[in-house]
């Protein structure tokens, strides 16, 4: 986004406005999809209260979208540094495997299980970050290593079994509710608040954008670019582990082969829909969450329209291409040229 | 930047590792050093080999293709459906599948080039799209009973090599694999298109300044990759005698891993199709080791392959660092 002419003449107010302007697109897309459902999907907006908690399609979307949203939040920071993390799905599987194994085989205490799963994600993230920042391997390739090996590691942890658990404390993570909403929604909101606080109320966000815009320049400016990159991948790993915990809790089993399958693609898509460019630089955490909700709504719409889960990937592909085209510098250039005739 | 003195080191490393693995296997396991085992190594990895040829073109040009597995699955169900449900001749079905591969690959290349989109995102969308299309054609796996595919192609078209005491019949799938490798090696080394692939991968800007047809090369590379993926789908269909829209999930990673283990730089510009072939064989040998060991489960394959990819990345980094210092 270094070439964005707006950036040069924008004051603080304008920058804020530009940030809000970026949120308009994912919000508009989501609104359009919801409007479609309001018109064509009966019962889509039906929400009722049972046993003090909300039930309904919208609540479902929030619930499942939260899991993807948490992964997307971590991914946003990585993409802001102009990287990408392809291993988040595998990390979800490993963290889930660790959690289920600790609960079932070791009968570990609940805080230990939480700490174990999140520490697994942290270790995976630090590994990715080390490969990218110290060994200077391209992010796609560096995280590919863990993407390939990760599910094998997860199966190693579970001995190739699908470990089922009915532990009530573990089940509470996805099954519990707070203020009538499922607990994952609270977790996603908490993750957003934490990351927004850390990146916007300190200079960390600025550092991330600086490294993503021009790593060399940021290093010359005295920034610990490698440390910033390492941190971004570590956060992505922890976020993926949290999503892995939610997934284990939701299906009450650790499935090394299918947990978090293709989530890396959805997460990248969510970030891109949210307005963060894959070339790095400015990032939008709220946008990524909106993107995740959009994807989840799209998936849910497909299901409610009796489109099989397998065929549902076609509209998703079309969305990817459309979003890509809208983000493409070529298309943006043409639109801008039309808007501002020379 | 020239890597001439060290250019052949990664491929040598692959060859040495492969030779070592084969020797260790022969010493460690009974029956490992037999023609049948080697033949199975080729048969079981023929479709991976064909796909890796396509992946080599893309990676040499500095891109990446994530749609490989989906295209393989799609072509397999397309051929099965055309032959079994539409009563088409198998050769017609195969021709349609290959034409689809070329067209689809070229479309991806055109999007990547014309709109400067990241290759991994476009081919990711392609992966979703084609995976879904496969399920539209037929939602389940579909066995092929067509006699032409089941018998004619599988038996009469294979030729017998006068190697070993009795001679070994080499199945058509392996012929296709070896032919694809040979053709790709000639194209990459002796045609303008092939040399342009290296030039674009090494430095697109310089290639453009030298007057090379960058646009045509880029689109061509993805068309070749699409063709190879479809051809891998044909080989897969012959190998499985069925089509399955759900098959080959994550297969593109295997192809990319084989290419990396074969010493091709993921940065682009350096590598060879021969290296990728060695990488495919190394991939197959790792799987064979795990089978022969008996007590190890198949998930070890992924871990070992991941570790190998990492090791080869390290070697590449070290080589790059040494040439940059020089």
Closest-CA residue of B relative to A316 is B128
HEC string of A182-200 equals EHHHHHHHHHHHHHHHHHH
Query: Which one has a higher pLDDT value, A126 or A315?
Result: A126
Summary mean pLDDT of chain B: 85
Question: Does residue B230 have a pLDDT over 90?
Answer: yes
Q: For residue A97, what are its two tokens? A: 């495997």
Mean pLDDT, range A75-90, rounded to an integer: 92
| Cα–Cα dist A128/A87, whole Å | 9
**pLDDT higher than 50, residue B216:** yes
Measure A14 CA to nearest chain B CA, in Å: 28
Confidence class of residue A3 from pLDDT cuts 50, 70 and 90?
A: very low
Average the pLDDT over B245-254 and give the result.
83
Strands A181-182 and A177-178, how do they pair?
Answer: antiparallel
Residue A141 near chain B (CB below 8 Å): yes
Task: Tell me what pLDDT residue B6 has.
Answer: 61
pLDDT at B277: 94
Beta pairing partners, A48:
A55
Mean pLDDT over the full length of chain A? 83
Whole-number pLDDT of residue A104: 83
Residue B224 has pLDDT above 50, yes or no: yes
User: Over 70: is that where the pLDDT of B292 sits?
Assistant: yes
Q: Describe the crossing of helices B251-261 and A139-158 by its angle, rounded to 10 degrees.
A: 120
Sign of the four-CA dihedral A10, A14, A19, A22: negative
CB–CB of A156 and B299 under 8 A?
A: yes
> Is the ipTM of this structure higher than 0.85?
no
Q: B190 vs chain A: nearest CA distance in angstroms?
A: 29
Distance CA B5, CA B274 (A): 18
Q: pLDDT digit string (tens) for B301-321?
A: 778 888 888 888 887 777 777
Which candidate, A291, A286, A287, places its Cα nearest to that of A267?
A291
CB contact under 8 A, B302 and A151: yes
What is the predicted pLDDT for the residue at B185? Answer: 94
Tokens of B288: 């064979």
Distance CA A144, CA A167 (A): 33
Mean of the pLDDT values across residues B73-101? 92
- Which positions in chain B have a beta carbon within 8 angstroms of at least one beta carbon in chain A? 64, 111, 114-118, 120-122, 124-129, 131-133, 135-136, 139, 245-246, 249, 253, 256-257, 260, 266-267, 297, 299-303, 305-307, 309-310, 313-314, 317
What is the pLDDT at residue B68?
94
Q: What is the pLDDT of residues A177-208, one digit of tens each?
A: 777 778 888 899 999 999 998 988 888 888 88
Given a contact cutoff of 8 angstroms between Cβ atoms, the answer to whether B168 and B39 are in contact is yes
For chain A, which domains are there? 54-328 (1.10.3470)
B299/A148 Cβ within 8 A: no
The answer to whether the CB atoms of B124 and A278 lie below 8 A apart is no
Q: What is the pLDDT of residue B2?
A: 46
* Closest CA relative to residue B253, chosen from A72, A87, A240, A320: A87
pLDDT digits (tens, 9 = 90+) for B126-181: 988 999 899 999 888 888 887 777 766 665 455 555 454 555 667 888 888 999 99
CB neighbours (10 Å) of residue A27? 17
Q: CATH classification of B4-325, choosing from 1.10.3470, 3.30.70, 1.10.8, 2.40.10?
A: 1.10.3470
Q: Is the pLDDT of residue A1 over 50?
A: no
**Six token digits for residue A197:** 């606080």
Among residues of chain A, what percentage have pLDDT more than 90? 25
Percent of chain B residues topping a pLDDT of 90: 37
What would the mean pLDDT of A71-99 be, rounded to a whole number? Answer: 92
Using a CB-CB cut-off of 8 Å, the residues of chain A touching B139 are 308, 310
- Burial of A338 from C-beta contacts in 10 A (0-12 / 13-18 / 19+): exposed
- Give the model's pLDDT for residue B30: 79
The reply to whether A3 touches chain B by the CB within 8 Å rule is: no
User: Given a cut of 60, is residue A176 above it in pLDDT?
Assistant: yes
- Name the pLDDT band for B74 (thresholds 50, 70, 90): very high
CB-based contact, A241 to chain B, within 8 Å: no
Contacts (Cβ under 8 Å, ≥6 apart) of B3? B270, B319, B320, B323
In order of A66, A273, B57, the CA distances from A267 in angstroms are 11, 10, 28
Residue A307 phi/psi, 5-degree rounding, is: -85, 130
CB–CB of A147 and B266 under 8 A?
no
Quick one: pLDDT band at residue A244, thresholds 50, 70, 90? very high
Q: Which residues pair with A241 in a beta bridge?
A: none
Structure confidence at residue B3 (pLDDT): 46
- Six-digit token pair at A124? 């995976």
3-state secondary structure of B243: strand
Does residue A274 contact residue A263 with C-beta atoms inside 8 Å?
Answer: no
User: pLDDT above 70 covers what percent of chain A?
Assistant: 92
Does the structure show a pLDDT above 50 at A2?
no
Confidence of residue A8 (pLDDT cuts 50, 70, 90): very low
Asked if A311 and B136 come within 8 Å (Cβ–Cβ), the reply is yes
Q: Give the Cα separation of A11 and A182 in Å (integer).
A: 40
Model confidence over A215-236: pLDDT tens digits? 888 888 888 888 999 999 999 9
Residue pLDDT, tens place only, A272-330: 888 888 888 888 899 999 999 998 998 888 888 877 777 878 888 888 788 778 777 77
| Predicted pLDDT at A7 | 45
Q: Which of B131, B139, B257 is closest, CB to CB, to A148?
A: B257
Rounded distance between C-alpha atoms, residue B216 and residue B315, angstroms: 32
| pLDDT recorded at residue A180 | 72
Burial B146-184 (b: 16+ CB within 10 A, else e): beebeeebbeeebeeeeeeeeebebbbbbbbbbebbeeb
CA distances to B34, B282, B286, B289 from B30, in Å? 9, 20, 17, 12
Cα-based distances in Å from A126 to A10, A70, A214, A265: 36, 18, 22, 21
A310 → closest Cβ in B115, B132, B256: B132
pLDDT at position A75, please? 94
**Interacting residues of B149 by C-beta distance below 8 A, sequence separation 6+:** B83, B90, B237, B238, B241
Provide DSSP, A96-165.
HHHHHHHHHTS---HHHHHHHHHHHHHHHHHHHHHHHHTS---HHHHHHHHHHHHHHHHHHHHTTS-EE-
- Which residues does residue A53 pair with via DSSP β-bridges, in sequence order? A50
Q: What is the pLDDT of residue A26?
A: 81
Mean pLDDT of A32-47: 80
Are A127 and A146 within 8 A, CB to CB?
yes
Task: Domain ranges for chain B, please list them.
Answer: 4-325
Q: Identify the top-confidence range among A1-5, A262-266, B78-82, B112-116.
A: B78-82
């Amino acid at each position: 986004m270094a070439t964005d002419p707006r950036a040069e003449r924008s004051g603080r107010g304008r920058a804020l406005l530009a940030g809000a302007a970026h949120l308009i697109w994912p919000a508009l897309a989501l609104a359009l999809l919801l409007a479609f459902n309001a018109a064509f999907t009966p019962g889509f907006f039906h929400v009722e209260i049972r046993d003090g908690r909300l039930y309904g399609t919208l609540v479902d979307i929030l619930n499942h979208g939260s899991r993807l949203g948490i992964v997307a939040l971590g991914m946003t920071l990585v993409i802001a540094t102009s990287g990408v993390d392809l291993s988040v799905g595998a990390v979800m599987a490993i963290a889930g495997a660790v959690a289920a194994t600790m609960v079932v085989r070791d009968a570990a205490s609940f805080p230990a299980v939480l700490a174990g799963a999140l520490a697994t994600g942290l270790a995976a993230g630090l590994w990715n970050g080390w490969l990218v920042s110290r060994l200077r391997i391209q992010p796609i390739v560096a995280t590919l290593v863990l993407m390939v090996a990760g599910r094998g590691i997860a199966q190693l942890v579970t001995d190739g079994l699908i470990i089922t658990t009915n532990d009530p404390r573990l089940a509470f993570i996805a099954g519990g509710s707070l203020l009538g909403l499922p607990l994952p929604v609270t977790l996603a909101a908490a993750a957003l608040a934490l990351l927004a606080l850390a990146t916007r109320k300190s200079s960390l966000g600025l550092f991330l954008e600086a490294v993503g815009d021009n790593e060399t320049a940021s290093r010359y400016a005295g920034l610990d670019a490698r440390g910033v990159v390492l941190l971004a991948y570590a956060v992505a790993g922890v976020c993926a582990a949290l999503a892995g915990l939610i997934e284990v809790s939701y299906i009450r089993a650790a499935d090394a082969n299918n947990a978090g399958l293709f989530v890396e693609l959805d997460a990248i898509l969510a970030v891109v829909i949210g307005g963060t460019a894959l070339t790095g630089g400015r990032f939008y955490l709220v946008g990524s969450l909106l993107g995740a909700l959009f994807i989840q709504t799209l998936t849910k719409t497909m299901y409610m329209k009796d489109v099989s889960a397998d065929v549902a990937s076609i509209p998703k592909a079309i969305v990817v291409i459309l979003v890509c085209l809208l983000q493409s510098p070529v298309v943006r250039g043409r639109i801008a040229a039309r808007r501002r005739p020379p | 930047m020239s890597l001439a003195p060290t250019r052949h080191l990664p491929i040598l490393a692959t060859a040495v590792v492969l030779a070592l693995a084969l020797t260790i296997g022969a010493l460690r396991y009974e029956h490992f050093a037999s023609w049948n085992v080697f033949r199975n190594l080729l048969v079981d990895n023929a479709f991976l080999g064909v796909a890796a040829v396509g992946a080599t073109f893309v990676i040499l040009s500095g891109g990446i293709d994530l749609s490989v597995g989906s295209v393989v699955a799609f072509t397999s169900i397309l051929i099965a459906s055309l032959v079994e449900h539409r009563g088409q001749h198998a050769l017609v079905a195969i021709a349609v599948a290959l034409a689809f591969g070329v067209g689809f690959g070229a479309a991806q290349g055109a999007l990547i080039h014309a709109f400067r989109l990241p290759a991994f995102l476009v081919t990711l969308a392609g992966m979703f799209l084609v995976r879904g299309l496969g399920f539209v054609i037929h939602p389940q796996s579909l066995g092929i009973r067509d006699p032409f595919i089941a018998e004619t192609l599988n038996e009469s078209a294979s030729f017998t090599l006068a190697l070993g005491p009795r001679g070994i019949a080499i199945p058509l799938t392996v012929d296709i694999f070896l032919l694809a490798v040979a053709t790709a090696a000639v194209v990459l080394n002796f045609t303008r298109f092939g040399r342009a692939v290296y030039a674009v991968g090494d430095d697109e800007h310089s290639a453009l300044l030298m007057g090379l047809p960058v646009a045509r090369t880029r689109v061509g590379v993805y068309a070749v990759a699409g063709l190879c993926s479809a051809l891998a789908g044909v080989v897969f269909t012959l190998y499985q005698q069925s089509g399955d829209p759900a098959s080959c999930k994550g297969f593109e990673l295997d192809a990319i891993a084989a290419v990396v283990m074969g010493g091709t730089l993921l940065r682009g510009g350096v590598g060879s199709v021969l290296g990728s072939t060695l990488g495919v064989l190394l991939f197959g040998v790792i799987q064979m080791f795990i089978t022969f060991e008996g007590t190890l489960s198949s998930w070890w394959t992924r871990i070992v392959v991941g570790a190998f990819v990492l090791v080869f990345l390290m070697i590449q980094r070290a080589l790059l660092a040494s040439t940059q210092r020089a």
